[in-house]
Amino acid sequence: MSSQTYNPQQTLMAQYVSATVIGLGVTGYSVARYLRARGLTVTVLDSRSEPPLASEFKREFPEVETRFGVFSEGDLTSAGLVVASPGVSLKEPMLRAAKKHGAHIVGDIELFLQENSKPVIAITGSNGKSTVTTLVGAMCEAGGFKALVAGNIGKPALDSLTDQIDFDVAVLELSSFQLETTYQVPAESSAILNISADHMDRYDSMGDYVLAKARIIRGAKRAVLPRHDEWLAQITNVNKILGFELEAPSSDCDFGIVRKSGKRWLVKGDKRLMLLSEIPLIGLHNVKNVLSAFALVDFLEISLDALVNAVLNFNGLPHRMQTVVAVNDVAWVNDSKATNVGATATALNNLEQNVIWIAGGQGKGADFNELRAAVSRNIKHLVLIGEDAPKIEAALTGLLPISLANDMQGAVNQAAGLASDGDIVLLSPACASFDMFRSFEDRGDEFTRCVEITLAESDGGAV
């Protein structure tokens, strides 16, 4: 057992002279840089025999011991401080053994929060995290604050400390994996945007997944929460809760939608913020994202004009309900980031146009029956691709016409033949991409490329 005993009243950097980093991906690399910059002796482990960043890392840090290959349960029995990358499960036998022998296991976000002295806005949720995080960063910048946008988006958070980047407020997108290794998040405002089943290949139950997400509320001064989410209804241990929903607010602290003079307004309490029709993003779920962003920056007291201008100038992120082209009154929408059932259900539920839907991939253990409630009359046809296409077809048979395609080009060709004026062709896979593509970005780019080919070959002309 390690001779060091962790004292939560002191920072980890003040208590340890050495650390072991698990995983040499982008996060692990940034952790090692941070620890070496603060004088700690570092050892790096990775279960891959040749991590993609190994050569670059060894050139920059030749003094750091690296051990690559399959983990052994006894690899960390003498370790004191262990920094695990988000992709490494805490159920890994090596980490369980290390904890049993007294190791203190954290992630990069815990290290960042222990040293950071600037206000923090923290955001998690099954879906919409990146959109809201980016919009909140834009709102802060519009209000004159230098925003660090980091965490599960952009550069790793620790790089900002290692490289001494100047910022006024840290806007952090945090995944459940990052929160597992974070003790608490002392944020000015923390949001859980929504909860739906995801990563069920890593968690034993939805309850375990929700508990991981809920760690973002520990230490927060304000919690931004959807008002009617059954999984989050029991969160009450926060000084102030700001609710948001697509309905009239229930208090002066709540954000919502009201209809006045025939128009729908985003409001805080009875204060008008902006017209719903002015939001440039597609789908009512993006209206909820905008409401949550208003709530998250509320404590900064930025002028309303600056906040509204930030929304008006925000066109969303690639692969997230992104309109790649509109030809002959048919919109082709790339929602490749919808890698779980909840994200796709949200997209389908929040579109009022007729939809030709393309889905499929690796389901990560998801229950596709949960998509049944999202299949309404406006979903005209489903085209399936990928490894779990048969499972989705079995879950949805009888609800709508379904066909199969061998690849993305075949799916796009089928969709083009099915779409009519006013329709949306929506790629919203409800699955991970790794059976056919390098990433969800690669999948979305392939969708866009296939759309261009199909339209160029049709009467629609080149895109």
Q: Which of 104, 199, 213, 288 is catalytic?
A: 199
Rounded mean pLDDT of 180-189?
A: 95
Q: Are residues 308 and 356 in the same domain?
A: no
Residues 232 and 169 in one domain: yes
- Find the range with the poorest average confidence among 233-237, 333-337, 400-404: 233-237
Residue 461 inside a domain? The answer is no
Shared domain check, 57 and 194: no
**Does residue 348 lie within any of the structural domains?**
yes
284 and 304 share one domain: yes
Whether residue 185 sits in one domain with residue 77 = no
Question: 366 lies in which domain range?
Answer: 322-455
39 part of a folded domain? yes
Asked, for residue 328, whether it belongs to a domain, the answer is yes
Q: Is residue 463 part of a domain?
A: no
pLDDT band, very low/low/confident/very high, at 49 (cuts 50, 70, 90): very high
How far apart CA 68 and CA 343 sit, in angstroms, is: 36
Q: What is the pTM of this model?
A: 0.83
Which of 52, 85, 106 marks a domain boundary? 106
Q: Residue 238 above 80 pLDDT?
A: no
pLDDT at residue number 213 = 92
Same domain? For 162 and 251 the reply is: yes
Residue 197 pLDDT level (bands cut at 50, 70, 90): low
372: region left, alpha or beta (phi > 0 left; psi from -120 to 50 alpha): alpha
Model confidence at 374, in pLDDT bands (50, 70, 90)?
A: very high
Q: 3-state SS of the chain?
A: CCCCCCCCCCCHHHHCCEEEEECCCHHHHHHHHHHHHCCCEEEEEECCCCCCCHHHHHHHCCCCEEEECCCCCCCCCCCCEEEECCCCCCCCHHHHHHHHCCCEEECHHHHHHHHCCCCEEEEECCCCHHHHHHHHHHHHHHCCCCEEEEECCCCCHHHHHHCCCCCCEEEEECCHHHHHCCCCCCCCEEEECCCCCCCCCCCCCHHHHHHHHHHHHCCCCEEEEECCCCCCCCCCCCCEEEEECCCCCCCCCCEEEEEECCEEEEEECCEEEEEHHHCCCCCHHHHHHHHHHHHHCHHHCCCHHHHHHHHHCCCCCCCCCEEEEEECCEEEEECCCCCCHHHHHHHHHCCCCCEEEEECCECCCCCHHHHHHHCCCCEEEEEECCCCHHHHHHHHCCCCCEEECCCHHHHHHHHHHHCCCCCEEEECCCCECCCCCCCHHHHHHHHHHHHHHHHHHCCCCCC
Q: Check which CATH number belongs to the domain holding 59 and give it.
A: 3.40.50.720
Q: Which residue in the list 104, 116, 127, 152 is annotated as catalytic?
A: 152
Domain boundary among 106, 136, 171: 106
User: Could you tell me if 119 and 266 lie in one domain?
Assistant: yes
Nearby residues of 388 by Cβ (< 8 Å), 6 or more positions away: 360, 361, 362, 363, 368, 431, 435
**Residue 305 lies inside a defined structural domain of this protein:** yes
Do 130 and 205 reside in the same domain of the chain?
Answer: yes
Q: What is the per-residue pLDDT across 244-279, written as a single tens digit (0 to 9) for each?
A: 999 999 999 999 999 998 999 999 999 999 999 999
Short-list 351, 365, 336, CA closest to 436: 336
Q: What confidence score (pLDDT) does residue 1 get?
A: 30
Q: Are 241 and 225 in contact (CB under 8 A)?
A: yes
152 is catalytic: yes
- Amino acid identity of 386? G
Q: Is residue 182 part of a domain?
A: yes
pLDDT category at 6 given cuts 50, 70, 90 is very low
Q: What confidence tens digit (pLDDT) does each residue in 403-462 have?
A: 999 999 999 999 999 999 999 999 999 999 999 999 999 999 999 999 999 999 986 444
In angstroms, the CA 361 to CA 436 distance is 7
**Is the pLDDT reported for residue 152 higher than 60?**
yes
Burial 388-399 (b: 16+ CB within 10 A, else e): bbebbbebbeee
Q: Answer whether 342's CB lies under 8 Å from 358's CB.
A: no
Cα–Cα distance measured from residue 276 to residue 441, given in angstroms and rounded to the nearest whole number = 29
CA 394 remoteness from chain centre: 28
Domain count, the chain: 3
Residue 440 and residue 335 share a domain = yes
The one catalytic residue among 116, 127, 129, 413:
129
For residues 413-422, b (16+ Cβ closer than 10 Å) or e, as one string?
bbbbeebeee
Q: What is the pLDDT of residue 396?
A: 98
Least confident of 70-79, 80-89, 317-326: 70-79
Q: Tell me the backbone φ, ψ of residue 353, rounded to 5 degrees.
A: -80, 165
- Give the C-alpha separation, 29 to 53, whole Å: 8
pLDDT, one tens digit per residue, over 331-373 is: 999 999 999 998 899 899 989 889 999 999 999 889 999 999 9
Instruction: For residue 264, give the CATH number of its domain.
Output: 3.40.1190.10
Confidence category of residue 176, pLDDT binned at 50, 70, 90: very high
* CATH number of the domain that residue 366 is part of: 3.90.190.20
Give yes or no: 381 in active site. no
| pLDDT for residue 370 | 94
Separation of alpha carbons 15 and 409, rounded Å: 56
Task: Based on the fold, state whether residues 162 and 255 are members of the same structural domain.
Answer: yes
Residue 458: what pLDDT?
A: 80
345 and 272, same structural domain? no
pLDDT averaged over the chain? Answer: 92
Question: From CA 193, how far away is CA 124, in angstroms rounded?
Answer: 6
In a domain, 199, yes or no: yes
Of the three residues 106, 126, 155, the one that is the final residue of a domain is: 106
228 is catalytic: no
Q: Which residue is associated with the tokens 């016409």?
A: 401
Q: What pLDDT score was predicted for residue 9?
A: 56
Q: What count of other Cβ atoms lies within 10 Å of the Cβ of residue 89?
A: 15
User: Do 122 and 228 sit in the same domain of this protein?
Assistant: yes
User: Is residue 7 scored above 80 in pLDDT?
Assistant: no
